[in-house]
Chains A and B, each alone.
Chain A
Amino acid sequence: MHHTNKMPLATLAKHATVFLLVLLWTLPTLGLLISSVRDKDSLTTSGWWTALAPAERNEVYRTPTADAQSQSGDVFVIEDRLFEVDARVLDTWGSRPTDLTANQAGETVTMDNGTRMTLTKDGQFRWESDQPFELSRGERVFYVSQVPPTFTLNNYEEVLSSEGVGRAFINTLTVTLPATFIPILIAAFAAYALAWMNFPGRLWILAGIVGLLVVPLQISLIPVLRMYTGLSGIFGWEAKSYGGVWLAHTGFGLPLAVYLLRNYMAGLPKEVMESARMDGASHFEVFRTIVLPLSIPALASFAIFQFLWVWNDLLVALVFLGQGEGKTVMTAQLVELLGSRGDNWEILTSGAFITMLVPLVVFVSMQRYFVRGLLAGSVK
């Protein structure tokens, strides 16, 4: 509001509140995204909000046996590395799991039997003794190390190849593109007829379509599935096929498509169409050369709706395409992973992000059309 400059405190509160709300709406997705690129071990042991801080990890190391010792002067020495040289830093260590913080890195500690053990920050291990070592089995050393944050795409590789998400991605694409295009085509013709042609029953069809806008698709599941099964018995088709899903999505998307497009087309200038008709153009020509090009914004709005709806749909795909048989779509695959790999967050987070990627890109790049469609589509 214009007068807010006079009230700095109120303005500040407003900025803070909006910021908080936006944070609340963004954090969930951000958490998923960050988690999906963390390595599996740190993902399961620490919250994603600690991803940028080094993680503390407790591990066990077993020393080499007496075979590895060498003699320099009077001293017998066993040398080794606890871990490969990388960005890890050893913090503290002890000889019992309850004693993790007994000794600092870099310190030389004299053991009970008089031997001297040194563990340095970069993971070097040195053990000295005045007598020859007689170890047939390595001693255990417990240590704490700081692991710097690492980000990796391994989770994505795993989920795409071995968890069937790659295949499901293609299946989803196979379902979505025709299930977006077919209803647009059918609806565009119907919308033109309902807006600009005169024929008996026009108003009835229009009222029927408005009524069908809110019919829950649950009502169609059993009858349509039985119809598909019946047809497959007669003609030998598969009862669960891509064709069946396309047509089902077409049916469920059509009321909104016809409603949106008719309203848009009815608002186009009457004179243009009438003069074209006077010049002898048929309805088909008027539709193809005038109305269709002018309706592109409305077509785009509905296309985004239907694309997002079909891409994100679970129920229709579950019922008419089923699970297994190599036709599983991504949402169904993700639900299956939630069941079978419920604790494997590295798989779930990366899998979920892959399913979200395409809709997010479409959404962000075409937001204007989407908003326009929303505004036209909400039945006022």
Chain B
Amino acid sequence: MISQIITASFVIALAIGLSALFFIGSNYILDRFLSSESLTADLDRQRRDKIREGIRPWIFVGPAVLVLVVYLVYPVFASLIYSMQDRNADGFVGFANYAWAFGNDGFQIAIRNNILWLIIVPTMSTAFGLVIAYMTDRLWWGQIARTLVFLPMAISFVGASVIWKFIYDYKGSGEEIGLLNAVVMALGGEPQAWISLQPWNNILLMVILIWIQTGFAMVILGAAIRGVPEDTLEASIMEGANNFQIFFKIVIPQIFGTIVVVWTTITILVLKIFDIVFAMTNGQWETQVLANFMYDQLFRSGDIGRGSAVAIVIMLAVTPVMIYNIRRARMENQ
């Protein structure tokens, strides 16, 4: 134990030291060997300065570009190629992997479930977040309430899965220790094995992500609500509007842009959802989703072609958002 801690700290220090050394060292080398101080002629100096300062941006931005190209840009193209190759990435098979996927039951269930997740999770998280943000705004204990709702954001998907699996626990004999079954029994119902109860088990898995993401929506929307001009609120109160009218007719229209942003951000997260399904059911009982299906193809069946084809499908789903973001960013920086 102790020796591992020492090894770990050493490795951490080394990694941190080396990366810091790169930047300090390369800037030092640049200043040292392309210094213009030794030159006498003005023209030579200017030329030397120009070369040096032309190189420097690339020292600054180079590592980031290199890492991004290796870990994100190249993989997009590599996956595209792998997705048209066979299971060991040896031979070209055209669109056979895609054709296989769309004819596969597991894939179809995954697509169906992903669509359900995409409809339900962002909508519910945004709705809960909006309601809680609005109701806790100007509440004297609102800050505490918001912190408590926000807290699940810090919990890993796996940790959250354990928390909720405990709630959904089913024993079938003796006293039920799962909260959900206890509530059902208190209301006079029969305890259920929720995790395998189709199709409701999908909803129960979504609840976990809604529970986590509501805090995110609440924080962003809360800030937007505080940004609604005071005078529009006061004017509507003067007019005799009640809380509901203010909420739906004044607040929501003014923060609609932010609502769309929150909804989109959660949508992108949902497309990639993996941990919760992996930990809770591993895709059994018709709870499969794309990311877990892909993991299955890759690491259980060992099929690079099919796994890559599923990855490309996930990629295609986020592409519209990507294109929109790039266009907007380019417009802003022009």
Contact = CB atoms under 8 A, between A and B. Distances in A.
Contacts of A268: none
A377 to B, nearest CB: 9
A125 interface: no
Interface string A180-197: 011001110110111001
B163 A352 contact: yes
A359 B149 contact: no
A27 B179 contact: yes
Contacts of A272: none
Given A216-B272, A363-B151, A14 B139 contact: yes
A329 to B, nearest CB: 10
Given A21-B132, A173-B8, A315-B274, A31 B27 contact: no
Interface stretch (B93-101, B115-123, B314-322): B314-322
A309 to B, nearest CB: 10
Nearest to A174: B8
B262 A345 contact: no
Binding site secondary structure of chain A: helix
B15 interface: yes
- Size bracket, chain A contacts: 35 or more
B291 A218 contact: yes
Nearest to B31: A282
Given A32-B163, A47-B182, A22 B145 contact: yes
A340 to B, nearest CB: 13
A239 interface: no
Nearest to B207: A28
Given A182-B19, A315-B275, A356 B265 contact: no
B175 to A, nearest CB: 6
Interface string A114-139: 00000000000000000000000000
A367 interface: yes
Among B59, B65, B169, max chain A CB count under 10 A is at B65
B79 A219 contact: yes
Contacts of B278: 314, 335
Contacts of A35: 166
A345 B166 contact: yes
A212 B68 contact: yes
Nearest to B330: A207
Given A45-B175, A282-B31, 13 more contacts: A18-B139, A25-B152, A28-B163, A47-B178, A193-B57, A212-B73, A215-B315, A218-B315, A220-B72, A314-B157, A315-B275, A331-B156, A334-B159
11 contacts: A186-B19, A210-B326, A214-B318, A215-B315, A216-B272, A227-B70, A242-B11, A247-B71, A311-B156, A334-B159, A363-B151
Interface of B: 1, 4-5, 8, 11-12, 15-16, 19-20, 23, 27, 31, 53-54, 56-61, 63-65, 67-68, 70-76, 78-79, 82, 89, 128, 131-132, 135-136, 138-139, 142, 145, 147-159, 161-167, 169, 174-179, 182, 211, 214-216, 219-220, 223, 233, 237, 243, 246, 257-258, 261-262, 264-265, 268, 271-272, 274-275, 278-279, 291, 294-295, 298-299, 304, 307-308, 311-312, 314-315, 318, 321-323, 325-326, 329-330, 333-334
Interface of A: 1-4, 10, 14-15, 17-18, 21-22, 25-29, 31-32, 35, 43-49, 166-167, 170-171, 173-174, 177-178, 181-182, 185-187, 189-190, 192-194, 197-199, 202-203, 205-224, 226-227, 242-243, 246-248, 250-252, 254-255, 258, 282-284, 287, 308, 311-315, 319, 331, 334-335, 338, 345, 348-349, 351-352, 355-356, 359-360, 362-364, 367, 371, 374-375, 378-380
